[in-house]
Each structure stands twice: as structure tokens, then as C-alpha cells.
Chain A
Amino acid sequence: MSVEILNVSKSFGDTHAVQDVSLTIEQGEIFALLGGSGCGKTTLLRMLAGFESPDSGDVRINGESILALPPFHRHVNMMFQSYALFPHMTVEKNIAFGPAQDGLSKQEIAERVDEVLELVQMERYRKRKPAQLSGGQQQRIALARSLAKKPSLLLLDEPMAALDKKLRMRMQLELVSIVEQVGVTCIIVTHDQEEAMTMSNRIAIMDAGRIRQVGTPQEIYEYPNSRMTAEFVGSINLLPATVTACAESTTLQLKDAASTVVCRDTRAREGEAYLVAIRPEKVALSTEDEAAGPNCLRGVIDDIAYLGSHSVVHVRLENGKIMQAHMSNVSRDARTQIDFEQPVTLSWEPESVLLISEDD
């Protein structure tokens, strides 16, 4: 049951909420739409659910367009950000609401209710009203309710937004295991990159109504295709540079610095300008004054943020720019081995370097 989104656009007045978006989501896949607020991800989700209709383009499930169907006739169910549990109905009634609309018999409805309640392990709470449940419990009921109709596509709108941070981590894993158990195709909308990476098989990054990159969490993180995605997911060092030589590896001359960078990216042509992108955890920090060479920069420590498992070290380069490096706190006194204004050398492997086009 694949979901195809074909060249979908939608404007509200002058704002182009969604612009020419095309995506294919495979059967059983958990797919995340990741982006900041106002990037159009929620509008896209609401178009799948049927609460908005696109200005142009098509949405197909198993090859059939669903655009002509009103929300109540689509085999698509959504778990709302606020959960939208009906406050005047018990847990049981909430879950039975969907199957009842399909005209199932009382017995069938009861079986469905039992089935999904067992799935989310909430059998004991079936007679409660939503207001009598905790946030995590409400979320499970909301999930159960949206699964009770056995939809071909499940939509999760900011599923963790209403939970506190500790509960979030647990529920992310639990939700994924339930969704995988059911095997339903699932689209998650979120602004939280960690959530998207933990929960989904593939991620689409959205910005200003457009899809910027689609890929597995690893692809998105290790091979961002643009400055926007590189900066949106995790933190990254970006150094402007110009290609000076291309052979088996590419050599670049850094702007405002004497050092050169060598990388394995062979798309580049001589004379082109790029941003050299290196994730901070791939930068090695050394207090010894190592010999200068390619992939090596000198500087002094500007700031240290101690985060327990590792420290984020800000190094002021000779040209005044700041570069980040992660230092793993392998020993307890790791933090005390470095200090502000201490001269350090930063270095990295050619494999860790990614080239990103300047203009985008």
C-alpha cells in the first residue's frame, strides 16, 4: 500500500504553504516530515487527511487518487497533536467511535476495541474518561483510536509534543514498536530531529513549503545535500574554500587561512567554491603542537560546554572564526586537561569531509 504524493501545491492567500511536493512512501514504512514551524509539513499532513485540498497535484494510495474523498471516507487516520480525545466519552467509546462509523456489528466493534487496547496495553483503563488519564496514557489511547479502523495510512501529528522530555524517549520507541507490529504505513510530522531520527525509516526535510532532502536518518546526517539540511540536523562546521586540485582526492584552499583541506569527494572541479562541512564529533582535538599539514587547523580554546558524556569545545581559529569539536570524556578528569585560551590543534580525516555548494 504505497502512498504517492505527486506535485502537490497549496497556497493560503499569498503564502505558498506547500510547493510542488512529490514523495513516495512504501508499504509499512515509517516516514517523517521534519521541518521548522511554518515549513508546510502540517499543511501537507492535513491534505493527506482531507482537511485541506491541494491547489494542484495528486495524492494516491495504491495508485488510486483520494483527493475526491472527504476526510470521513478516507482510509487514513490521524493521531492529533492534542490527541483530540472526546472528553465526554470513555476510553472504550472513544476507540469504538471509528469502527462504529463503518457500520460494524456490536461484536466486531467490541473485538476491535479489545484488540487495540491490548496492543497499547491499556485494557485496565477502558472505562475511564480522557481527563482521568495521564499524558502518556492519553497518547496511547489516541494511538489505539487511530488504529482501530485499520487504516491504510496512519498520520502522526507532532506525536510527542504534549509529553515531557523523559516520557518522550520511552514513548518514541514504544510507538514505533506498536506501529511496526501492526505494519501500517505511517507518516510522522515533527519539528524535533531526534524524534524523526529515532522513529522513522526515512526522513524528508521540509523548508518554506519545499522538500529539501529525502533519505534515511544516516543519509540525512552524514550526507546533507545543502547548507540548510546540514545546519538543520545536528551542528556542523562550515568553512568556505576553493578547489585547487582534483585527482583521486580533491584539495581545497581555505578562505582566510593558510591551511588546505583534502577530501574524497570527487565531483568538484578546479576553481569552484565550496563549503567544507565537517561534523564536530569527527574533529579531533589535540593539545600538542602538531606539524601543520592538510586537514589541520590551529587555534585557541574560546569556550567549553561540559555536557557529561562529552564536551563541546569552541576553538577560535587564527582567522578569528569559531570551529566546534566534540571531546569525548573518556576519563573523569578529561575536562580539566584543557583550559580557556589554550592553544590546540584540530584535525580530521579526509573521509569525514563533505563539500556543499555555496549558493543555496
Chain B
Amino acid sequence: MKLTKIMLGFGFAFLYFPLVILVIYSFNESRLVTVWSEFSVKWYFELFKDEQLINGFLLSLRIASLTACASVVFGTMASYILVKFGRFPGQTIFSGLTVAPLVMPDVITGLSLLLLFVGLNELIGWPSARGATTIWIAHVTFCIAFVTVVVSSRLREMDGSLEEAAMDLGAGPVKVFFYITLPIIMPAIMSGWLLAFTLSLDDLVIASFVSGPGASTLPMVIYSSVRLGVSPKINALATIFVVCILISSTASWWLANRFSPASGGTGKTT
């Protein structure tokens, strides 16, 4: 027991040490990331002057929110099919399609989607140009799998008699889904949305393949800057990331803990 606790401490140190260093050195005056000279916030100003970064960020934000919305819809449908529908023709293929993207290396997903887009363009003239739309399609495709994992596990835990009770009380299948199932699995759908959002915001490899000229997402901009060497501007950006995520995750954790007894119960509490 003691050993595992020590490992846990070590593991957390390993996970957080690089981030802490990253944050500290974002306030370093010097361009050298490893030598501390004096406190400064100048890299933050530099960051906001960088139009490429800002544009990349805005594009990524747009793609990520649209991706999250679409993959939540498809992912919830897929979960419902997998958990509730039982066997149907093509079910094995379907379940494979919803799980495989979880582990498929990005380079394969990216390249194959690009070739699809190029091939389709030759065959049916769509998509004539690659950019935000093709990135969105690619992101939705792999995010569906992640949303499905999150939502289907919640759906499976849900007491099935709740849906039967609603049906027994006169609600048809569609009503049952929207009035009973959906509200009960809503927390999972929300975390699925957040997961898809961050995955999309995070993706470099797939976006690089399926993007076209002029559409550079934030990771693509960061990547080209990082390739040129270490830059404190990236540290500043990372710090902003970390702060945003700290705030939002603490908030959502607090919310989840506050409301979970009422929204997560199965009615079996005695």
C-alpha cells in the first residue's frame, strides 16, 4: 500500500514537473528558456501580437466547438445503438467502426482521409478545396469513438427500468429518449463534448494531412514555431492553456460533485 502511494506521488511529479517549469519560464525575460534572468510578462504581449497564432487559435476554436457538437450527436446515437438495440445486421462492423478510431495512429487516419478527399474530388467534384470543413469532418470521425466510450458506459450503468417505467406511463420511444434517457446521461454527454473539444483543439497530425492552403490550426502554427527551436512565446501560450484548463476543470469538477447525487442516482437508494 505504501509503495503504491509513493509511486502515485512520483507519477504526479512526473506529470506536472514539465508543466510547472513551462509556466515558470514563461515569465522569464530572457529568450533562453533554461536560464532565468528576470521576471517579465513581455512574452505574453508578443503572443497577442502574433497574428498567425491568434488566427490559428480562432480557427481551432471554431473547428473544435463544431466538432464537439457533431460528435456528441453521432456518438450518443452510436452508444444508444450499441447498448440498447442488441443485434442487427452489420452490428459487428458497426461496433468495430466505433472502437477502432480510439487506437488508430493519427498518421494513418490523416493520410487515408486526405486520399479519400482527393479521390472524392476527382470522382464527384467534392470537396473542391480542403480547409476547415475537411478538418472538421476528420475530427468528428475520430471524436465519435471517444464520445461513444464515455456515453455508452453511462448508458449501460443506467437502470433500464427507468425507460420502461416512462413507457409504461404512456410515453413513446422518442419521448422516453428525450425526457428520461437524455437528461440522465447528460453529464456523460457533457464530458463527451469537452473531450471531443479538447481532442480537436489538440490535433496536429490529422489536421496537417487534411488541411489545405490558408487553413492553419493552432497546433499547426505551434508546430512550425517549435520546429524552429524553443521559444518563450510558446511557454506563455502553454501557461494560458494551463490556467484555462485549471479553471474550467475545477469548475466542472465542483459542479459534477455538487449535482451528482440528484442526477446520477438509479432510484435504488434506501
10 contacts between A and B (CB under 8 A): A50-B168, A71-B167, A84-B159, A84-B165, A86-B267, A87-B262, A101-B170, A138-B270, A145-B165, A145-B169
Query: Quick check: is B84 within 8 A (CB to CB) of the other chain?
Result: no
Chain B 74-100 interface residues, beta-carbon cutoff 8 Å to A? none
Interface segment among A127-135, A271-279, A288-296: the answer is A127-135
How far, in whole Å, are A266 and B268 apart by their CA atoms in the complex? 53
B184 adjacent to A81 (CB under 8 Å): no
Q: How far is the CB of A189 from chain B (nearest CB, A)?
A: 14
Chain B binding surface, main DSSP class = helix
- Chain A, interface size category, equals 35 or more
Q: Which residues of B contact A86 (CB under 8 A)?
A: 162, 165-166, 180, 184, 267
Beyond A82-B266, A131-B262, 13 additional contacts (C-beta under 8 Å) are A72-B167, A81-B161, A82-B161, A84-B162, A86-B162, A87-B262, A88-B183, A98-B170, A101-B169, A130-B265, A134-B270, A162-B268, A162-B270
Chain B 170-189 interface residues, beta-carbon cutoff 8 Å to A? 170-172, 175, 179-180, 183-184
Q: Which residues of A contact B171 (CB under 8 A)?
A: 72, 97, 101
A77 adjacent to B270 (CB under 8 Å): no
Q: Which residues of B contact A163 (CB under 8 A)?
A: 270
Query: Quick check: is A340 within 8 A (CB to CB) of the other chain?
Result: no
How far, in whole Å, are A302 and B262 apart by their CA atoms in the complex? 55
Query: Quick check: is A348 within 8 A (CB to CB) of the other chain?
Result: no
Q: How far is the CB of A74 from chain B (nearest CB, A)?
A: 8
How far, in whole Å, are A138 and B268 apart by their CA atoms in the complex? 9
B180 adjacent to A82 (CB under 8 Å): no
Quick one: given A88-B262, A101-B175, A129-B262, are A83 and B267 in contact (CB under 8 Å)? yes
How far, in whole Å, are A89 and B68 apart by their CA atoms in the complex? 27
Which among A50, A51, A80, A145 has the greatest number of chain B C-beta atoms within 10 A? A80
Q: Which residues of A contact B214 (CB under 8 A)?
A: none
Q: How far is the CB of A320 from chain B (nearest CB, A)?
A: 47
Instruction: Mark A residues whose CB is within 8 Å of B.
Output: 49-51, 70-73, 76-78, 80-88, 97-98, 101-102, 129-131, 134-135, 138, 145-146, 149, 162-164
Which among A81, A131, A146 has the greatest number of chain B C-beta atoms within 10 A? A131
Q: Which residues of A contact B161 (CB under 8 A)?
A: 80-82, 84
Q: Which residues of B contact A164 (CB under 8 A)?
A: 270
Mask for B246-270, Cβ within 8 A of A = 1, else 0?
A: 0000000000000001111111111
Mask for B153-168, Cβ within 8 A of A = 1, else 0?
A: 0000001011011111
A72 adjacent to B172 (CB under 8 Å): yes
Q: Which residues of A contact B169 (CB under 8 A)?
A: 72, 77, 97-98, 101, 145-146, 149
A88 adjacent to B170 (CB under 8 Å): no
Q: How far is the CB of A104 from chain B (nearest CB, A)?
A: 11
Q: Which residues of A contact B183 (CB under 8 A)?
A: 88
Which among B169, B170, B179, B263 has the greatest number of chain A C-beta atoms within 10 A? B169
How far, in whole Å, are A178 and B115 apart by their CA atoms in the complex? 69
How far, in whole Å, are A171 and B159 apart by their CA atoms in the complex? 24
Q: How far is the CB of A12 from chain B (nearest CB, A)?
A: 13
Q: How far is the CB of A271 from chain B (nearest CB, A)?
A: 55
Partner of A97, one of B166, B263, B266: B166
How far, in whole Å, are A87 and B157 apart by their CA atoms in the complex? 14
Q: Which residues of A contact B164 (CB under 8 A)?
A: 49, 51, 71, 78, 80, 84
A87 adjacent to B168 (CB under 8 Å): no
Q: Which residues of A contact B165 (CB under 8 A)?
A: 78, 80, 84-86, 145
Q: Which residues of B contact A83 (CB under 8 A)?
A: 267-268
